Structure formats: structure tokens, C-alpha cells
Chains A and B, each alone.
Chain A
Amino acid sequence: MEKFSYVNATSLEQVTSLLSESGWGEVMLIAGGTDLLAELKEYIETPKTLINLKTLPGMDSIEADASGLRIGALATVADISMHPTIQHHYTVLSQAAGSVATPQIRNVGTLGGNLCQRPRCWYYRDEATDCLKKGGDICYAIDGLSKYHAILGGDPVYIVHPSDLAPALIALGASVKIVGPEGEKSMSLEEFFTLPAANPFRENVLEPNEIVVEVSVPAPKPNTRSFYLKAREKGAPDFALSSVAGVFEMDGKTCKTASIVLGGVAPAPWRSKEAEAAVTGKMIDESVSQQAGSDAVKDAEPLNDNAYKVTLTQNLVSRAAMMAAS
């Protein structure tokens, strides 16, 4: 990696002020470092300054009460996965966190880092390949090897968003708090992520001088059941070939409301309103769940090597729906 200076953060004001000194890539934030270090070692990023966020006090807390959850951006993935309230009432989030990488990575990787992690695409991660995501001319996945690439929302960059936490949090209706030089703002986590058509170089709406500080999750409605289903080639560590975060408000076998968010298949966590519509207000049975699955992928446009993801995603959505009713 290139040499950089290392600054311990003392306040959010200091952090946003340092970030404001330059554009993307000059000053970068580090918390767990499980993603960033790999990017530095591969020369994908070559920042001049790293700001260590772990010295910011209080940003690793997880607060749970009747209104919901507030999780600091520095909370570790392990803490989220093992939090008793999250395990009991926000099961999809606990399961998603528990599926991330390995215990070692979960112990240091943070919520903020997990949401802002960069794609795993093997063209993007290769220093010598000048792909569209890095300012080059083409997305190599289109004509190249695309087994792990997007089937939805890809154009013009066919990366998939690697986060497991994001689909789960979006399915739970989470919002994210962002701090910039002008102060703080909140938005729904769903709106936080963007597709390459809007900006091929970034995966979210953060400006270069902004930082994610907290995620809030409203308390689930009574009789809510939630699941995170993650298909992968290897038990651990492995990223999702496809994943489904499903949150279902049930009345017996009837689904009152549903939110279904897909991971590993699109450049951003992919909310499937189609699948949600297929189950909402319905008594979930085999045929309804099948419908939800096929509706979830009806707009899928696979590349050369990833048509299997269409079947896989369809089946995972159906399975999640059946689990909600069982």
C-alpha cells in the first residue's frame, strides 16, 4: 500500500472538516478496516490520510427500547448478531449479521463499514484492470466472466452490493443518520443506496465529506416474522450469491404487510415491491409463494454466467414466504 498519515478522530466536526479538504479518495475513514485494508493493499484506494473513527466516543452503542433500535455506526457486526433483543425481535438482522464473513471479521467489522463497503467484483478488485467503476471505459463483466455479478439494475456497472446487513435493515424499514459539515440529516436506508445508472462510481448518496453515524430501526409490528436467507458457495467466509431479507407481518397464515429485499443480485440492495405485492393481503400457500418468487425476478436480465441467480433468487423468495406462513 501507499504511505498515508493516520489521524485519530476526536469529534465528528473534526472528521467532516478533514473530509472537506479534498474530494473522494484523498482522506478516507477507517473503523474495522476489514474492507479498506484490502483495498489499500491492492492499491485500489491510495488515500493520503486515514481517519481512525474508533476513537470517537459512544458511537458503538446499541440501544433498544419500545420504539425500536438505534445502532451506532461503530457497533461491530458481532455485537449486532449477538444482541439478545435483536435476536428475538429483529431476527432478520441478527441472522444477516451472523452470516457475515468469519468471527474474526465480525468482531472488528462495523455497521458503518458494512453499509459503505465497496464491491467485491473481481475486475474492480484487480489493480491492473481499468474498469468502468474505476473510471475506465467498460464493465468487463458484460462480456467477461460474470458468475458473481448482477442480474438486476446493473446497467452500466454490473457489480453486486456485498452487504448482508443492508438488505436486512432496509427490510426492517431502517433509516440512516448522516453527518456532514452542514450538520446532520436522516434518510431511509433504502434511499441511501444508489444504482450505477445514477452514479457508476459510488454505491450510495454519501458526499465525500459526509459520514454515516447511526442507523435507526422501528420496532416491528406484533406478529412479525423475519428471515435472512443467504445462498453461497462456501459456508464461511463467503459473500452471497443471492440473499433474501424478508419481514412479514402475519395474521395466521395471512400476510398483512411484507418487505422483501434482495442482496447479492444488484448493485444496491434490491427491494422487490413485486414480491411484496404478491404476498400482501394473501394467505400464503405454495402458489402464492411461487408467485412471489417469480415476480421478484421478472425484470432480471442475467449476463453470460449468472442465469442461475434468477432461479436461485426466485426460490429463495418463495422459501422465505413459505417460512413466514409455517
Chain B
Amino acid sequence: MASWGEASESRLIGKRVTRLSGKDKVTGKAKYTFDINEPGMLYGRILRSETAHATVLGIDLSEAEALPGVKAVIPIIEVGNKLRYQGQEIAAVAADTDDIAKDAIRLIHVDLEELPSVVTEADAMAADAPQIREDWAGNQSEPNVREDGDINAGFTEAAVEVEATYHTPVQTHVCLETHGHVAKWEDEQNLTVWASTQGVFGVRNDFAQHFELPANQVRVITEHMGGGFGSKFGPGIEGRTAVELARITGKAVKLMLTRKDEHLVAGNRPSMTQQVRAGATSDGRLIAYDMKGYGTGGISSGAGFTGPYVYHVPNSRAERVNVAVNAGNQRAMRAPGHPQGAFAMDSLMDELAEKLGMDPVEFRRINDPNEVRQAQYTLGAQEIGWHRRNHVPGSGTGVKKRGMGLGSGQWGGGGGRGTEARVTINADGTVEAVTGTQDIGTGIRTVIAMIVAEEFGLDITDVRVNVGDSQPGLPSGGSGGSQTTPSVAPVIKTAAAAAKQKLFERIAPLLEAPVGDLRVGTGTIYVVSDRTKTITWKQAAGQLGMDSISEGGTWDEELRQNGAAGTQFAEVEVDTQTGALRVIKIVAVQDCGLAINRLTTESQINGGVIMGLGQAILEERFMDPETGRMLNANLEDYKVPGTFEIPEIQSIVFDTHRKVTGVGEPPCIPTPGAIANAVYNAIGVRIRSLPITPDKILDALAEKA
């Protein structure tokens, strides 16, 4: 049975290893899609709707076409069709410079018939709201209902009840590198595209299909990628537009979204509003849960969220509805549906615990069936110093009050089939590992090098890793769902093992030992029964003469496992005069199975916590009901955490077994709930709406007083 071996035997696996591309990134040597410049390259720009809802009556491209330096102008939307949100694509240009392209799109004249728009959930659900989706009566989808047990019977048994409404607004991904592509036709049948994407093969297949090309004649390259968080799978309209502009002009075209575009059309995490009533028995068992909620994913569906989430409730009913508004579509965003659901559920848990007079940790122990998290509660409480919390919320003295809270999360991350990989040993001893996955900043390049180097007894720098390129024809899935490492690592491991086996077979006669007796040392191969028989790796490879060994791998399910439990504890300080909220510390205990690279795993946890922190205390998309426009499509008023906001983060890699589980998404889930509960513990007033900003804190304190 395949295994990653014992920790004591590992030289690299499970250790903290600096990522291979780190130096290139901090020195600027690493080339992102944004950095690609081809000779004679043109710049693409897209004219987007500034109106939330309108019918296109006419598009006049002539003035843009006449601007010197403009090489192509193409319509995207057809006359007669509807624009349904600000930012929707109307037309595009390619020009000699980005400035000319920007000027040119302003010379495209669009004749519109404006239609009434709705941009808030409340307005969309109002009785007299304009119908903005023909297939949804009242702008609402059919409810998704899930029932378990008998909630009426459950409430009869309940000793305490809580009824509350929780809300999280739309959050956008804020990828540091905006979405975009550089497209170049090598000839009429061969297309190369540098794409800022989470899935080079998905993008390749989309282009092949859309432009009717053989898939093996489309090459998609993503050497480095500046953040996707779920928003960068398909090429999008902007990707197809870049390729089309390149086709028409016969030149390479770079088309990157602007920051404003990014907020408007490149995806978002849907909002959530839920009314929930829940009850618990006097001995602290959750007994009934009745939730009705809605969210908006813009004009599209996809606004689901979890509830009652990780806690066991024998009698529950959950009803969720999608609400359509005139705003850009949602896309998957780091643990879709989880952070907003977790925030509501963990807030609810604390409200129930208080009514029961029970410690929030104890209340979770009773109701959380997950054994891993049970252990994490103990560790997290110990690390944050849970005994220091206010036993009576808000009881701290002074202007600045401190408090503690916790939240929970659960994810899969078990990976899947669909990755092809090849590990090659050359006669000069050099090693290559090739697969069509992509390193979206999470460190898979380094993980691959570590696995191969461990298998061969080499250093990671001895392994050349080729990822983020479809041309070798070794497909792998998109990097989403925390699936990259659990999907890729087993294939690399088995490929490396197969290559090693082949090499052993070649040199066994030389060492006069059976293949089964050979082992790798550090840069050597030796015979386990007679350690005097040893040769260097280089000498061994030299036996290949003019050959190379090149082996594929298989996805061995024994090498990975699904399921990642997490819990986080937060300590905060609230200035009760100014409403300023400072998160002091987050203890993030995250189950992830075998962390192949402990350092990049910790980075993942840090990143998740920071993203959760942004959702908890800063981030919100503001839509103006009157104009239908986003008011903060920038990074001034759409606020993301900076160095002043980021607290001490104690990232605890809580490894429970030696199988690989992905950890990209789960660390952002428990953070908002933990912070919200800590704020309550500090000031004794509950904020049931994210983000927890000074205005809400001051208003809540004023209401309490």
C-alpha cells in the first residue's frame, strides 16, 4: 500500500521549505501574465456598461475606428439585447498603446433605452419591483428547502430559544493581479495564450471549442498567478475578446481588467441574510433550527450558504432563496457559502450558550460531532488563554474593552482524478517533473519538487518543475476546492516511485544486488544489505547512456484523504468611544492531514485568516439604489486589510494523519464568527451584520445605553 512513510524517515516531506519561486517573486523576476510583452503587441480594452439595466438600441464604432493607433474595434453585445448590470461588456478595442485603447473605448457611442434597475436585495424583493430575470417571479428563485426531523417537536423540547437575523454583504475577490490574458496566434491554427487563471487546461479547452481549433494546437501558459480565490476558472468574455482581437489584428494582444472591472464583473461572494430561530435543551443540546434566508449573486444564481453547518441539530429546516439584482455575477470565492453561513451559525451558537448560561466552548463540545474539532477546541482555548475571557460579556472596565470568541469550519479537500504527470531522470542525473497543474500562489511547484527530491534523495533545487503550461499535454484539473495538492501530489509521488524503480532495475546488476535491496541515500543509491555497495546518483543516472527514464503516475487514493476540520479563536479590543475594533490575535487550528510543506501550509492558513478578517471587519460592496452603480469599485472605499489590521496569527498545522488534504479554503471560514463572538464578549452588544465597522459598534452601543 502506497504511503508517505513515517515522519521520522522524511527528509523533506512535512518540513518547512521556502518556496522555489519566492526569490523570483520578491525581486520581480517572476513573470505574471501582466508582465508578458510580445513584440508588436497591442493593448485591448473593453467598453463596459455604466448603466445597471438598459436595452442596447445601437452601437457606433466608427469614431473609435478612426482614432490613429486603433487596430480593431469589435462589438460584444448585440443590438437589441439587454445590459443587466454595470460593467457588462459592450465592445472592445485593440490599439498600439494602452492609452490609445482607453481613449478609443470612450469614442464608442452606445444608444441605450434605460430600464428600471434594482441593486439591493430588499428592492428586488419589493412587491412593485421591476422584473429583471424573466425566469424568476419576483426576482427570486424557487426556494431550496432541506428538512430533517420535526422542528415543531424540537421546539417543544427546547428550554431556551434564540431568534435573530444575520447578514453578510457581497464581498469581492480583490485578486492583486486582475483577470487578463495575452493572446498570440502563431499562425491560423496555433494559438498561444498567457492567462491569469486557476485552470490552464480548462481555459485551453474553452478556447479550442470557441475558436474551433484542435485542442493540441492551443497552448495556455500560467507561470505565475497573482490570486484567483475561485474567480479565475474560465477565460471569461475578456479572454475570448483578447483572442478575437489578436485573431483580427494578427498581433499579440494584452487585455487585463482594471481594478474597477475587477470589482464589477470578475465575481464576488454572494450576500446572505437569514432569519433563524433555534432552540436548545436545558442540558445544552441543540434541538431545533428553523432558518429562512436569501442572498444575491447578482444577476446569476449561486447564492447558497451553509446552515446549521457543522453542528448536529436533530430537527432542522433550512430554506434558501436566490435574489436577482442588477449587479455582476457571483463566482466561487474561497469556500463558497461557508464563511457567511459559519458566521451566522457561530453567532447563533454563542447566543444560545449565553441563554443557557454555558461556556461557548462547552456548548460546542456537546453539539459538534467532529472528533478532530473536539481536540482543536482544547488546543485553541489553551493557546488563546480562554480562561482570560470575560465571563460576563462586556464586563471589562475602561474605554477599551477586550473579548474572546471562537468559530468553526469544515471542508473537504480530498482531491480527485484527472492529473497526468511525468517524472524524468536524465542520464546526466538531472530530474524533471512535468504536469499541467498551475501554481496559483499556493506553492504546488515547491511541493512537487519536494516529493520528487524526497523520492530520489536529492535537493529540491535539483528538480526542474514544469507546471502552468498545457503544451506538454499532461492535463490536470483547475486549482479550486482546495484540490490541487491532494490531486497532484499522489500522481507525482507514484510517478517518481516508478521512475526510481526503473533506475534501480538499470543499476541493480551493477551493484550486484536485487532491485528490492536498493535504497536512495542523500545523493546516493546503496544496497541496504551491504552499505559498502553505493554509487552516487549521478553515476547511477550515467548508466542510462543516451536514454532517459520517464514515468507517469496514478492518483493513488491511499495517499490523500477528504475532510479538514478547523477552529479559530479570536481576541479583540474595542474602543467604546470611537468604535475602533482591533483584532489582537487569532489562533487558527487547522486540520490538513499531512502538510507536505509546513511553511506554505502555514502561509495558506495566514492568508485564509487575513481574508476572513477582511470579511469580518472591513469588506463590503456598496451599491447605490438610485443610480444602480457600485460606489466603491476601487481600493479606497472597498477596504481590505493592511498591515495595521493584521493581528498576530498563530497558525497551527493540526496534522491528524499522514495523508494529503487540501487546505486552501478552510482557514477563511471560522474567522468572521470568531471575531464577531469576541466583539460580543468584549462589549456585551452583538453585531449581527458584517463587516463589524465603527458605525455599527457605536450605533449598537448607543442602542444598549
Residues in chain A within 8 A of chain B (CB atoms): 120, 122-123, 126, 128-129, 140, 143-145, 147-148, 231, 233-238, 241, 305-309, 311-312, 315-316, 318-319
In angstroms, Cα B623 to Cα A123, docked, is: 11
Chain B residues with CB under 8 A of A144: 624-627
Cα-based distance from A129 to B693 in the complex (angstroms): 26
- Specify the main secondary structure of chain A where it touches its partner: loop
Quote the shortest CB–CB distance from A265 to chain B (angstroms): 13
Contacts of B632 in A (CB 8 A): 122
**Which residues of A have CB within 8 Å of B618?**
233-234
Which stretch from B135-143, B484-492, B666-674, B695-703 is at the chain A interface?
A: B695-703
- Give residues of chain B (494-541) contacting chain A, Cβ–Cβ below 8 Å: none
Residue in A closest to B50 when the chains form the complex, CB atoms: A128
Q: A305-B695, A316-B578, A319-B577 are in contact. Are A235 and B636 (CB under 8 A)?
A: no
Contact status A311-B702, CB under 8 Å? yes
Q: Which residues of B contact A315 (CB under 8 A)?
A: 577-578
A312 x B622 contact (CB < 8 A): no
Shortest C-beta distance, A275 to chain B (Å), equals 15
Assess the A122–B577 pair: CB atoms within 8 A: no
- Determine the interface band of chain B, counting residues with CB < 8 A from chain A: 20 to 34
Could you give 20 example pairs across A and B, Cβ below 8 Å? A120-B637, A122-B622, A122-B637, A126-B631, A128-B50, A144-B625, A144-B626, A144-B627, A231-B580, A234-B642, A234-B644, A235-B642, A237-B642, A238-B639, A308-B579, A308-B694, A309-B695, A311-B702, A312-B577, A312-B578
* A52 vs B73: C-alpha distance when bound (angstroms): 36
Name the contact of A231 in the complex, choosing from B626, B637, B641, B694 (C-beta under 8 A): B694
Contact partners of A307 in chain B: CB under 8 A: 699
Known: A308-B694, A312-B694. 20 other contacts (CB 8 A): A120-B637, A122-B632, A123-B631, A126-B629, A140-B626, A144-B624, A144-B627, A145-B624, A231-B694, A233-B618, A234-B645, A235-B643, A241-B694, A241-B695, A308-B699, A309-B695, A311-B698, A312-B577, A312-B578, A312-B579
Contacts of B636 in A (CB 8 A): 120, 237
Contact (Cβ within 8 A) A128 B695: no
The 10 closest A-B pairs by CB, nearest first: A235-B644, A315-B577, A308-B695, A122-B631, A308-B698, A128-B50, A231-B578, A311-B698, A234-B639, A144-B624
CB-CB nearest in chain B for A140: B626
- Please name the residue on chain A nearest to B622 by beta carbon: A145
A172 CB to nearest B CB, Å = 23
Q: Which of B387-429 contact A (CB under 8 A)?
A: none
Closest to A238 in B: B639
- List A contacts of B641 (CB < 8 A): 234
**A38 CB → nearest B CB, Å:** 9
Task: Tell me which residues across on chain A come within 8 A of B645, comparing CB atoms.
Answer: 234-235
Measured in the bound complex, the distance between the Cα atoms of B632 and A234 in whole Å is 15
The DSSP consensus for interface residues of chain B is loop
Please tell me if the beta carbons of B698 and A129 are within 8 angstroms of each other in the complex: no
Pair A143/B631 contact, Cβ less than 8 Å: no
Residues of B225-279 at the interface with A, using a CB-CB cut-off of 8 Å, are: none
Chain A residue with the shortest CB-CB distance to B696: A308
Q: Which residues of B contact A147 (CB under 8 A)?
A: 622, 695
B697 vs chain A, min Cβ distance (A): 8
Nearest-Cβ distance from residue B581 to partner chain A, whole angstroms = 9
Residues of B within 8 A of A238 (CB): 639
Instruction: Report A-chain residues with C-beta under 8 Å of the C-beta of B625.
Output: 144
Knowing A231-B694, A311-B702, say if A145 contacts B631 (CB, 8 Å).
yes
- Assuming the A-B contacts A128-B629, A234-B645, A235-B643, are A148 and B694 also in contact, with contact meaning beta carbons closer than 8 angstroms in the complex? no
A242 to chain B, nearest CB (A): 8
**Interface set, chain B 648-705, CB cutoff 8 A to A:** 693-696, 698-699, 702
Docked complex Cα distance between A319 and B576 (Å)? 12
**Chain B residues closer than 8 Å to A235, beta-carbon distance:** 642-645
CB of A148 within 8 A of CB of B624, answer no
Q: Which residue of A lies closest to B691 (CB)?
A: A233
Q: How far is the CB of B451 from chain A (nearest CB, A)?
A: 40
Interface contact A143-B695, CB-CB below 8 Å: no
Closest Cβ–Cβ distance, residue B420 to chain A (whole Å): 45
> Once bound together, how far apart are the Cα atoms of A122 and B627, in whole Å?
12
User: CA–CA, A120 to B580, complex, Å?
Assistant: 21
How far, in Å, is B171 (CB) from chain A's closest CB? 15
* Alpha-carbon separation in the docked complex, A311 to B641 (Å): 25
Q: Complex formed: what's the CA distance from A214 to B626 in Å? A: 42
The answer on a CB contact under 8 Å between B627 and A140 is yes
In the assembled complex, the Cα of A315 lies from the Cα of B695 at a distance in Å of 13
Q: Output the residue of A231, A237, A306, A311 with the most chain B CB within 10 A.
A: A311
Inter-chain CA distance A33–B693, complex, in Å, is: 31
Shortest distance between the CB of A177 and any CB in chain B (Å): 31
**What is the distance, in angstroms, from A217's C-beta to the closest C-beta of chain B?**
28
Nearest residue (CB) in A for B576 is A315
Find chain A residues with CB under 8 A from B693 CB.
Answer: 233
Instruction: Name the A residues within 8 Å of B696 (CB-CB).
Output: 308
> Residues of B contacting A148 with CB < 8 Å?
637
Closest B residue, CB atoms, query A129: B627
Residues on B with C-beta less than 8 A from A233 are 618, 639, 693-694
Q: Once bound together, how far apart are the Cα atoms of A59 and B642, in whole Å?
A: 34
Cα distance A160–B164 in the bound complex, in angstroms: 35
Closest to A305 in B: B695
In contact, A312 and B698 (Cβ under 8 angstroms): yes
Nearest CB in chain B: distance from A92 CB, A? 18
Q: Which residues of B contact A306 (CB under 8 A)?
A: 695
B699: chain A residues at CB < 8 Å are: 307-308
Q: Report the nearest A residue to B633, measured CB to CB.
A: A126
Could you tell me the distance between the alpha carbons of A100 and B632 in the complex, rounded to whole angstroms? 20
Q: Which residues of B contact A145 (CB under 8 A)?
A: 622, 624, 631
B557-580 CB mask vs A (1 if < 8 Å, else 0) is 000000000000000000001111
Q: Is the CB of A129 within 8 A of B629?
A: yes
In the complex the two chains form, what is the Cα distance from A28 to B702 in whole Å? 46
Residues of chain A contacted by B698 (CB below 8 angstroms): 308, 311-312
* CB of A23, distance to nearest CB on chain B (Å): 24
For residue A136, give the distance in angstroms from its CB to the closest CB of chain B.
Answer: 11
How many Å from the CB of A316 to the closest CB on chain B?
7
Q: Which of B577, B625, B639, B693 has the most CB of A within 10 A?
A: B577
Chain B nearest CB from A263 CB (Å) reads: 14
A-side contacts of B644, CB under 8 Å: 234-236
Pair A140/B702 contact, Cβ less than 8 Å:
no
- Smallest CB gap from A313: residue in B: B578
> Closest residue of chain B to A293, judged by CB?
B577
Bound Cα distance from A315 to B645, whole angstroms: 22
Interface residues of B in 456-485 (CB under 8 A from A): none
What residues on A are CB-neighbors of B639 within 8 Å?
233-234, 238
Complex alpha-carbon distance, A147 and B580, angstroms: 15
Nearest chain B CB to A175 CB, angstrom units: 32
Instruction: Among A122, A145, A236, A306, find the residue whose CB has the most chain B CB atoms closer than 10 A.
Output: A122
| A234 partner residues in chain B, CB cutoff 8 A | 618, 639, 641-642, 644-645
Within residues 591 to 645 of chain B, which ones have a CB less than 8 A from any CB in chain A? 618, 622, 624-627, 629, 631-632, 636-637, 639, 641-645
Q: For B694, list chain A residues within 8 Å (CB).
A: 231, 233, 241, 308, 312
Distance to closest chain A CB from B625 (angstroms): 7
Give the chain A neighbours of B627 by CB distance below 8 A: 128-129, 140, 144
